[in-house]
Each structure stands twice: as C-alpha cells, then as structure tokens.
Amino acid sequence: MFTAYILQSEIDGRYYYGFSERDAETRLQEHNEGKSYHTNKYRPWKLVWSGTFSSRSKAQDFERYLKTPSGHAFSRKRLI
C-alpha cells in the first residue's frame, strides 16, 4: 500500500504534500513527533486528504503533481 497525502499545519494553515509506504495516520504521527526535518517547525499537523495507490510509482507521480502549481490548484478545488 502506497499513500499520497496532504497535511495542514495547525499553526499557520500551510499545506504539506507527501508520500509514504505506510498508511497516512502513521505518517502523520511521525510528522507530529518531529521526525521530519521539513515539517518539524510547523507542527502540529492535521491530515486533510490521503489517497491509496496500488504502486509506488503512481503514488510518487501524484505527489509530484500535487507539488506543482497546477496540482496546488487542483487539490484546493477538488481535494481539500
């Protein structure tokens, strides 16, 4: 199981787009425990969207898309 997910900081409302080989709840817990350098200073985070994919490449491709300007617009209009 591979997951692409979107987190939102409860501090300032910024979004974080990620990918995990685990479920999104487990990954969220790791972000909130400060185990990720990139998200450490904006915690706590809440999970606003997650999607499960059958292959690693599909999940990573979707995560990369979400990080583009077009993906940001899509996620804000359709996912969150």
Give yes or no for residue 21 having a pLDDT over 90.
yes
Average pLDDT score over the chain: 95
- For 59, the token pair is 């999940």
* pLDDT score, position 1: 87
d(CA 80, CA 77): 7
- For 69, the token pair is 């300007």
* pLDDT score, position 76: 94
Q: Which domain, by its residues, includes 13?
A: 2-79
Which pLDDT band, with edges at 50, 70 and 90, does 37 fall under?
Answer: very high
pTM for the whole thing?
0.93
What CATH number has the domain bearing residue 8? 3.40.1440
d(CA 53, CA 58): 6
Number of domains in the chain: 1
* pLDDT score, position 46: 97
